[in-house]
């Protein structure tokens, strides 16, 4: 996989126990001709011996989702289940089962999601078919019940994987039940679709801004090596990949603690519909779709008016002539 970039435990605020890891120099970039250039459907990279990053092939889904498998001494946690349901197309369950059999045989698996958009939970069905697995549904009621949260979103949860605690933070805004995960062992922050090298799709600006502020304040008391999102949608020149199976010269997956700290000022700049802050394209998809629908209706009304006018003139000319 070429040269490996080493995530050094270099920050002064890092605790002594922080376990470092490695990212590949680049991810499988998909293809313009997926049919004739078959790619492995799921790329598996070991960040370290107990942390795995799984990336769905861009040829299987242009979403190219990233999934994360964290292994403790008592259980393993899979964050997100990806965009492809069919195990014949995306051998997610078999792959996760294989990693666990090799590295931590017999450990139970817990599956949680950054949020309930389909591309983060489509693989739930095949994972649920494995033995010794608990899949927590991604809707708000199920999540608050699982963590015993009474006050949403001003609560925090912890998952004990055995010698490895993962903090869970409610971060609605992109999705009403969005969660961000923080692994104290690697100090990686798993930021889902709230923060990623790509578009920031914001459904509820006020909620998203409040979440970004809570996350930034969490980052002040918890050292963050990197923030890892659910997708990569940008190339190194800042061009956005949209709905394509080929991502040449993708940006790295990993964002920094500074990106987490700067997120509130980016979202505070959002005009509520469509705006840009640095390389972030911020979009409220619902409002953009409503605007498109309104424009389409207006165009239809103008065409109708134009046809009516032409018809009346034609009739008038006929009656005169
Ligand atoms: Zn999403
Ligand atoms: Zn997504």
Contact at 8 Å (CB) between 226 and 181? no
CA–centroid distance, residue 2 to ligand 1 (Å): 31
Q: Quick one: which ligand is closest to 233's CA? A: 2
Give every CB contact of residue 230 below 8 A, 6+ residues apart in sequence. 65, 66, 80, 114, 119, 120, 191, 192, 193, 196
Q: Alpha-carbon distance 202 to 49, whole Å?
A: 35
Q: Alpha-carbon distance 75 to 159, whole Å?
A: 10
Instruction: Indicate the pTM of the whole model.
Output: 0.88
CA–centroid distance, residue 302 to ligand 2 (Å): 37
Give every CB contact of residue 70 below 8 A, 6+ residues apart in sequence. 50, 51, 76, 77, 79, 161, 164, 166, 183, 185
Res 311 pLDDT > 90: no
Q: Domain extents for the chain? A: 5-283, 285-321
CA–centroid distance, residue 208 to ligand 2 (Å): 16
CA–centroid distance, residue 278 to ligand 1 (Å): 21
Q: Quick one: which ligand is closest to 64's CA? A: 2
Q: Give pLDDT, residue 315.
A: 84
CA–centroid distance, residue 116 to ligand 2 (Å): 9
Res 72 pLDDT > 50: yes
CA–centroid distance, residue 204 to ligand 2 (Å): 16
* Chain length of the chain: 321
Res 39 pLDDT > 80: no
Q: Which residues surround ligand 2, an ion (CB under 5 A)?
A: 119, 193, 230
CA–centroid distance, residue 233 to ligand 2 (Å): 11
Q: Alpha-carbon distance 237 to 25, whole Å?
A: 17
With cut-offs at 50, 70 and 90, classify the pLDDT of residue 37. confident
CATH number of 5-283: 3.60.15.10
Average pLDDT of the segment spanning 185-196: 98
CA–centroid distance, residue 321 to ligand 2 (Å): 64
Average pLDDT of the segment spanning 12-25: 76
CA–centroid distance, residue 122 to ligand 1 (Å): 12
- pLDDT above 70 as % of the chain: 94
Q: Give pLDDT, residue 244.
A: 96
Q: Quick one: which ligand is closest to 231's CA? A: 2
Res 171 pLDDT > 70: yes
The owner of tokens 């708000």 is 140
Q: Alpha-carbon distance 46 to 118, whole Å?
A: 25
pLDDT in tens, 104-149: 999 999 999 999 999 999 999 999 999 899 999 999 999 999 999 9
Q: Which of 184, 147, 151, 181 is nearest to 165 (CA)?
A: 184
| DSSP string covering 272-316 | SSEEEETTEEEE-HHHHHHHHHHHHHHHHHHHHHHHHHHHHHHHH
Whether residue 153 is preceded by a cis peptide bond, meaning omega within 30 degrees of 0, is yes
Q: Which residues surround ligand 1, an ion (CB under 5 A)?
A: 117, 193
């Amino acid at each position: 996989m070429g040269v490996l970039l080493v995530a050094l435990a270099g920050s002064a605020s890092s605790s002594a126990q922080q376990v470092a890891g490695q990212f590949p120099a680049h991810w499988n970039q998909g293809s313009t001709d997926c049919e004739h250039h078959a790619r492995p459907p799921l790329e598996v990279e070991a960040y370290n011996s107990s942390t795995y990053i799984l990336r769905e092939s861009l040829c299987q889904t242009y979403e190219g989702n990233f999934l994360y498998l964290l292994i403790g001494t008592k259980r393993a946690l899979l964050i997100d289940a990806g965009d492809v349901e069919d195990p014949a197309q995306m051998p997610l369950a078999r792959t996760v089962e294989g990693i666990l059999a090799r590295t931590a045989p017999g450990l139970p698996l817990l599956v949680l999601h950054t949020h309930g958009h389909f591309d983060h939970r489509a693989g739930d069905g095949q994972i649920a078919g494995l033995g010794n697995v608990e899949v927590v549904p991604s809707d708000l009621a199920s999540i608050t019940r699982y963590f015993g949260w009474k006050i949403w979103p001003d609560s925090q949860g912890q998952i004990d994987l055995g010698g490895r605690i993962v903090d869970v933070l409610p971060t609605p805004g992109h999705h009403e039940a969005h969660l961000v995960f923080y692994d104290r062992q690697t100090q990686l922050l798993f930021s889902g679709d709230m923060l990623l090298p790509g578009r920031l799709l914001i459904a509820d600006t006020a909620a998203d801004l409040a979440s970004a502020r809570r996350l930034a304040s969490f980052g002040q008391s918890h050292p963050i090596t990197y923030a890892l999102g659910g997708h990569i949608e940008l190339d190194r020149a800042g061009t956005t990949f949209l709905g394509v199976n080929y991502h040449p010269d993708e940006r790295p997956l990993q964002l920094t603690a500074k990106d987490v700290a700067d997120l509130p000022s980016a979202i505070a700049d959002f005009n509520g519909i469509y705006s840009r802050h640095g390389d972030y394209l911020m979009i409220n998809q619902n409002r953009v779709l409503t605007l498109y629908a309104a424009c389409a209706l207006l165009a239809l009304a103008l065409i109708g008016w134009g046809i009516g006018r032409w018809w009346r003139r034609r009739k008038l000319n006929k009656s005169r002539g």
